[in-house]
């Protein structure tokens, strides 16, 4: 921020005035830690380094062979994303230059599964001739997180036109608080084209979310190809609003075969009286495609959509079990209320009614039978099962003890689940449902999964949480801004140690605004912080202040 040389006359007073102005206007923008989510532990200095135009990746001391190019490609994507909004055509000084990044990974393999070590150390020295930043990580997945953090330390110098790294030396040790940090997207209520999904997945990695819960099909549409049951996707909204197997890696609930539901008037639930129903489930689970009602896909790869096809197949399968509507006329939470006498399409369909009678089951018994049998099938194929919380609320003691209960109805549930010895994922709808536009980012930030859970053994059973982008009222036109920045607030709640979280969300407003602007600069349509979800800006102004 040089004073222009020819501007004589006004002297020192104006110079100081200008400097004061900039301190006030821009104070805090590049100060302190601007990383989101906040790392577990960090220390930094006040030096500025310039990135070499020939910034390199080295792997001295690493055991990871990178045969698939996972690390190398992530490095180059990181370099691209740092520069995406800029043209770096200035001259790099001759000293205090960061020549590259050395990444040393302990583990030789890149098997990805729930619970993989995501920790990393990132050190950026501020001395030396040829300075290298250093990453150490147990697995390549930790290293990928380190690259994301590193990218957020880089800033463009508009005067010199070079990329700089401020506040060196840095010493960061980081690892997540919870291993399951998810985002649900819903392609049944609205088809989401692949480019849109890929942008969403890329954006997840910027805040270190690591599980994509892909709710592919539901009552309204079935867009996914199932090769062994090729008529299923006739339930797509239109010919083009579909995913081929090549587009999507996993499959879900079978719908579309008349046999699979009791009658054409009764779209759900799957016909419990038909062995065929369970054959479909078994067929899906035993084949190449592993999921039933929902898809849970781990997205450690997702710094680039080139790797979308390598998305690892989680050991978890989400078996649904929520809001099962056995009534043709109302979307009751039938089982929660204990009503089993209301009209139900099961009971309207003679053969189902007959079957239920024969087995001495009410409809809610039938629902329980379905859930428990589906669980057994999944477990027999080596999966761990997740079920929505109604199954716990209604017959928790009969669920497999390995069940992970997915809480969504409200708060106060996780504590009951873990007290009973089951594991839990938190998505309480009053705070973490993104389609609830009145749920503010502050509410997302302050939603503590371990509320009222104090016994360490029980705390461990909360494996994490998930923000849910249900699709009834969002589509390709507005999904990004409905997800961001509110999902980022939850991402920090799930990553950062509780003692480093702000007790008052206003304390992080500036840093979250910076992260929101970073998302915008990376081409992600994150909304202003102010107002409800996806509110437009109320008037002209800086990205950092809206």
Please list the residues that pair with 184 across neighbouring strands.
213, 468
Nearest to a copy of itself of 67, 539 (CB atom): 539
Angle, helix 363-380 to helix 275-286, in steps of 10 degrees: 30
Task: Identify the residue among 76, 132, 237, 276 touching a copy of itself (CB under 8 A).
Answer: 237
Asked if 2 is part of the footprint of a copy of itself (rule: CB under 8 A), the reply reads yes
Return the structure tokens found at 544: 């950092």
CB 434 within 8 A of CB 200: no
Nearest to a copy of itself of 453, 527 (CB atom): 527
Task: Identify the residue among 15, 20, 26, 357 touching a copy of itself (CB under 8 A).
Answer: 26
CB 482 within 8 A of CB 474: yes
Return the structure tokens found at 273: 């009286």
Nearest to a copy of itself of 81, 317 (CB atom): 81
Which is catalytic among the residues 29, 241, 282, 323?
A: 323
Residues 474-503 that bind a copy of itself (CB under 8 A): 474-478, 480-481
Q: CA triplet 543, 544, 546: central angle to 5 degrees? A: 65
Q: Which residue has the tokens 């923008």?
A: 29
> Given the rule CB under 8 A, which of 113-121, 136-144, 239-247, 417-425 is the region that contacts a copy of itself?
239-247
Residues 516-545 that bind a copy of itself (CB under 8 A): 517, 520-523, 525-528, 534, 536-545
Asked if 190 is part of the footprint of a copy of itself (rule: CB under 8 A), the reply reads yes
Task: Identify the residue among 75, 114, 141, 156 touching a copy of itself (CB under 8 A).
Answer: 156
| Nearest one of 31, 40, 33, 32 to 501, comparing CA atoms | 40
Asked if 244 is part of the footprint of a copy of itself (rule: CB under 8 A), the reply reads yes
Asked if 12 is part of the footprint of a copy of itself (rule: CB under 8 A), the reply reads no
Say whether 298 sits in a helix, a strand or coil. strand
Asked if 303 is part of the footprint of a copy of itself (rule: CB under 8 A), the reply reads no
CB of 533 to a copy of itself, least distance (A): 11
Q: How far is CA 260 from CA 135, 273, 329, 470, 500, in A?
A: 52, 9, 20, 25, 50
Interatomic CA distance for residues 37 and 216, integer angstroms: 28
CB of 193 to a copy of itself, least distance (A): 5
Nearest to a copy of itself of 3, 20 (CB atom): 3
Task: Identify the residue among 91, 231, 359, 376 touching a copy of itself (CB under 8 A).
Answer: 231
Residues 458-477 that bind a copy of itself (CB under 8 A): 471-477
Asked if 86 is part of the footprint of a copy of itself (rule: CB under 8 A), the reply reads yes
Interatomic CA distance for residues 243 and 309, integer angstroms: 13
Interatomic CA distance for residues 182 and 432, integer angstroms: 11
Size of the site for a copy of itself (CB under 8 A): 76
CB of 274 to a copy of itself, least distance (A): 15
Nearest to a copy of itself of 126, 197 (CB atom): 197
Asked if 221 is part of the footprint of a copy of itself (rule: CB under 8 A), the reply reads yes
Asked if 89 is part of the footprint of a copy of itself (rule: CB under 8 A), the reply reads yes
> Given the rule CB under 8 A, which of 52-60, 68-76, 94-102, 515-523 is the region that contacts a copy of itself?
515-523
Q: Write the interaction track for a copy of itself spanning residues 367-396; mark x where CB under 8 A is met and - where it is not.
A: ------------------------------
CB atoms within 10 A of CB 25: 10
Please list the residues that pair with 263 across neighbouring strands.
266
Please state the φ and ψ torsions of residue 194, each to the nearest 5 degrees: -55, -45
Residues 116-155 that bind a copy of itself (CB under 8 A): 155
Nearest to a copy of itself of 243, 392 (CB atom): 243
Q: CA triplet 377, 381, 383: central angle to 5 degrees? A: 95
Nearest to a copy of itself of 269, 528 (CB atom): 528
Asked if 322 is part of the footprint of a copy of itself (rule: CB under 8 A), the reply reads no
466 is catalytic: no
Asked if 239 is part of the footprint of a copy of itself (rule: CB under 8 A), the reply reads yes
How many CA atoms within 13 Å lie on the side-chain side of 411?
13
Task: Identify the residue among 4, 54, 438, 499 touching a copy of itself (CB under 8 A).
Answer: 4
Say whether 243 sits in a helix, a strand or coil. strand
Interatomic CA distance for residues 451 and 458, integer angstroms: 12
CB of 397 to a copy of itself, least distance (A): 35
Interatomic CA distance for residues 270 and 351, integer angstroms: 13
> Given the rule CB under 8 A, which of 82-90, 129-137, 355-363, 425-433 is the region that contacts a copy of itself?
82-90
Asked if 194 is part of the footprint of a copy of itself (rule: CB under 8 A), the reply reads yes
CB atoms within 10 A of CB 452: 12
> Given the rule CB under 8 A, which of 47-55, 80-88, 100-108, 311-319 is the region that contacts a copy of itself?
80-88
Can you give 114-146 as a three-state secondary structure string?
CCCCCCEEEEECCCCCCEEEEEEECCHHHHHHH
Interatomic CA distance for residues 440 and 540, integer angstroms: 22
Q: Using the Cα atoms of residue 299, residue 301, residue 304 and residue 307 in order, give the sign of their dihedral.
A: negative
| Nearest one of 532, 546, 521, 543 to 82, comparing CA atoms | 521
Nearest to a copy of itself of 337, 542 (CB atom): 542
CB of 84 to a copy of itself, least distance (A): 6
Interatomic CA distance for residues 320 and 387, integer angstroms: 5
Task: List, by residue number, the catalytic residues.
Answer: 323
């Amino acid at each position: 921020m040089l004073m222009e040389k020819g501007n004589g006359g006004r002297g020192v007073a104006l110079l100081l005035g200008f400097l004061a102005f900039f301190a006030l206007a821009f104070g805090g923008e590049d100060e302190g830690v601007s990383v989101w989510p906040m790392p577990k532990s960090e220390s930094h200095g006040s030096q500025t380094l310039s990135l070499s135009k020939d910034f390199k990746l080295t792997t001295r001391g690493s055991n990871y062979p990178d045969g698939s190019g996972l690390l190398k490609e992530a490095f180059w994507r990181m370099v691209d994303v740092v520069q995406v909004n800029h043209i770096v055509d200035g001259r790099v000084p001759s000293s205090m230059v960061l020549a590259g990044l050395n990444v040393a990974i302990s583990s030789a393999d890149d098997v990805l599964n729930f619970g993989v070590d995501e920790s990393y150390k990132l050190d950026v020295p501020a001395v030396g001739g040829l300075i290298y930043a250093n990453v150490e990580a147990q697995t390549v997945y930790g290293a990928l997180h380190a690259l994301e953090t590193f990218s957020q330390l880089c800033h463009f110098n508009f005067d010199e036109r070079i990329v700089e790294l401020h506040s060196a030396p840095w010493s960061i040790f980081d690892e997540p608080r919870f291993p399951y940090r998810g985002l649900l997207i819903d392609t049944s209520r609205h088809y989401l084209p692949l480019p849109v999904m890929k942008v969403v997945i890329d954006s997840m990695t910027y805040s270190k979310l690591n599980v994509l819960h892909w709710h592919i099909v539901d009552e309204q549409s079935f867009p996914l190809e199932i090769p062994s049951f090729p008529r299923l996707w006739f339930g797509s909204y239109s010919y083009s609003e579909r995913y081929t197997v090549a587009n999507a890696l996993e499959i879900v609930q079978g719908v579309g075969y008349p046999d699979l539901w009791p009658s054409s008037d009764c779209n759900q639930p799957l016909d419990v009286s038909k062995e065929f129903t369970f054959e479909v489930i078994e067929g899906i689970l035993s084949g190449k495609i592993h999921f039933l009602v929902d898809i849970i896909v781990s997205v450690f790869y997702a710094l680039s959509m080139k790797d979308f096809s390598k998305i690892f197949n989680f050991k978890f399968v989400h078996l649904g079990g929520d809001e099962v509507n056995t009534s043709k006329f109302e979307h009751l939470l039938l089982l929660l209320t204990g009503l089993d006498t209301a009209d139900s399409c099961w009971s309207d369909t003679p053969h189902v009614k007959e079957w239920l009678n024969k087995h001495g089951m009410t409809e809610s018994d039938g629902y329980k039978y379905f859930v428990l049998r589906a669980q057994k099938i999944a477990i027999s194929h080596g999966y761990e099962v997740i079920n929505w919380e109604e199954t716990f609320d209604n017959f928790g003691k009969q669920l497999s003890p390995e069940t992970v209960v997915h809480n969504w109805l409200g708060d106060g549930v996780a504590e009951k689940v873990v007290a009973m010895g089951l594991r839990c994922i938190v998505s309480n709808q009053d705070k973490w449902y993104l389609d609830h536009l009145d749920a503010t980012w502050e509410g997302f930030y302050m939603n503590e999964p371990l509320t009222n859970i104090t016994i360490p053994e029980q705390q461990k059973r909360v494996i994490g949480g998930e923000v849910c982008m249900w699709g009834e009222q969002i589509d390709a036109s507005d999904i990004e801004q409905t997800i961001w920045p509110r999902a980022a607030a939850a991402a920090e709640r799930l990553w950062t140690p509780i003692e480093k979280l702000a007790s008052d969300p206003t304390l992080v407003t500036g840093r979250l605004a910076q992260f929101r602007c970073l998302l915008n600069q990376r081409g992600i349509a994150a909304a202003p912080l102010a107002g409800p979800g996806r509110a437009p800006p109320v008037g002209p102004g800086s990205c950092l202040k809206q």
